[in-house]
A and B are shown apart, each in its own frame.
Chain A
């Protein structure tokens, strides 16, 4: 059994360096192969240009030359990135980003989550933790400020996420905060998650990247606190925003949760069902969260340092009182319900719980399984038990995926690779963009969102593009993607980019009348920078371009910025008005590229790396 190993520590940050308020001015780089850790300086200009979270993580990945390597190899790097607002009294700011090249898409991936891990991680005295290399044997990585050590993890290998976290707390102390992988991450399921406090950095397979590095968990703790530029003004601003966050702008999330989207999306014909063949689902009423609450009980919870409290947990009817409820969001409800033709709420809750235990992204799991169900229906896949509407089959498939057992080994690769393997025209209806399975927004019925999906740097994604807000407004005709829609898609992507870099919860959106102005005020009181809303829009453009640069270096081609042919050649079966042509989408993508300052095909001009303050090559 591996005994505890203390990493060698090299100090590279001058002791007299004074970082900007809100920052430590360095990141911790840990080479898992050699055991050497270093604190590497981050210049104030880099911090101002990339802020933190997703933006700073993209910068760090480019600096590490990660774009051209296999994301599951030892050469790959991954970054756990904090932000200038972490540790402040600003509501929803206890967030961190996990940034790596995705094993699912082979493009940039940033998955965000909220938990005490963000606060404890920043208190180690760094703005990010970058992992490179690979541990020789399964290990737990403990970062205790300057003390970095590896503990053996053979006894934890195979444990589900929650059990592993409980065991770690008993073994090393609950003052460490842990990010762990489940069995899916260990087996490098390409859409494995990283779990912490029951929440997940969910999309794109960051759990597989950590598993490939033989790291079961990272524990962080420390006592280093950042100073704030204007503590009194920060406290005042935080109180104001918290007060507004308790009002009508967030009432839906607080009182009902995102699951309440289900009935509305169904009514609007935008609820993807049976692998995106339909936009409405006959059995949807049985999955209404009101019904879930009546059947098994309901409780609310909240992320660390959040005043919104959007978490809604529902109990399984047959569960014991001691079992925690299942966290239900719109996305897991849609993906494991209507998308797979399931209207049994008990099955959907069980499937959600199993995904959380195994550490599997529910959207990609549901998307891949529903795709496989349609392949079975069309005679392209010989798994006769895997049919739409069969709850037992759904649960069986999830277990097989988590173990990479039998057919689960194929399903663990995601819908794009499964389509490549099956052929027979199945790529036509594999529900992904760039390899990332599509979330619960039917793009033919939400065509600004269709553009957001197509151009998304990490693939089909509702967290990096907020264009659904535009589709569900009078600003556009959601059934007609026109040039007028494109600036709206950019505007929502810019806002999401800044939110993901500060980092703030997107459910705060409607609390602000001018988000960029409010974000500038937050940065000013924390960092002391005299930031304008216009500068933050430039920052968003810079970060989006840096992600594009990463993807270009990773092999991106313009053909990737599209949707599967199903969405461009067929109307929705149950809504003839929901029809999008390839020409419409291509025209919108070209305009999007031009408005971003790129070529119409989406290439960044030579020399852009220098302008972005990035290394010019890998």
Chain B
């Protein structure tokens, strides 16, 4: 597969528990990648994310995502560029 886009994914909270790793790099053969594409591949790599983190191709309501530590996203169509980092985390931030 010719890799055109690489996206780093960092896990925090319950998604880190479920994935069993802190981070992973995903490679895509397409030049444009949507956040939903990343979630699909994550589910293939880490089926345990189905347990309360990912469902129906997107995040469970108890989880959220952020791009590069800046923008939180809720739209599965959000485009991601090569080299960007997607943070997948528990949504609740109560202390």
Contact = CB atoms under 8 A, between A and B. Distances in A.
A445 to B, nearest CB: 10
B52 A251 contact: yes
B72 A474 contact: yes
B62 A252 contact: yes
A474 B14 contact: no
A267 B71 contact: no
Interface string B51-72: 1110000001110101001111
- Interface size class for chain B? 20 to 34
Contacts of B69: 267-269
A267 B52 contact: no
B72 A255 contact: no
| Size category of the binding interface on chain A | 35 or more
Interface stretch (A140-148, A403-411, A502-510, A525-533): A502-510
Contacts of A577: 70
B94 A256 contact: no
Q: Which of A255, A264, A472, A473 counts the most B-chain CB atoms under 10 A from its CB?
A: A264
Contacts of B10: 267
A477 B94 CA distance: 19
A510 B61 contact: yes
A329 interface: yes
A555 interface: no
A261 B91 CA distance: 10
A169 interface: no
Contact of B14 (A256, A441, A466): A256
B18 to A, nearest CB: 9
A173 interface: no
B92 A507 contact: yes
B95 A462 contact: yes
Contact of B13 (A264, A468, A474, A510): A264
A253 interface: yes
B61 A260 contact: no
A339 to B, nearest CB: 13
B93 A251 contact: no
B95 A472 contact: no
Contacts of B75: 474
B73 interface: yes
A252 B92 contact: yes
Interface string A324-353: 000001110010000000000000000000
Nearest to A249: B62
Nearest to A267: B69
Given A255-B14, A468-B93, A473 B87 contact: no
A256 B93 CA distance: 12
A510 B75 CA distance: 20
B89 interface: yes
A497 interface: no
Contacts of A267: 10, 12, 69, 87
Contacts of B14: 248, 251-252, 255-256
5 contacts: A248-B60, A252-B92, A255-B17, A268-B66, A474-B75
Which are the 7 A-B pairs with shortest beta-carbon distances? Answer: A248-B52, A330-B95, A252-B90, A264-B12, A248-B62, A474-B72, A474-B74
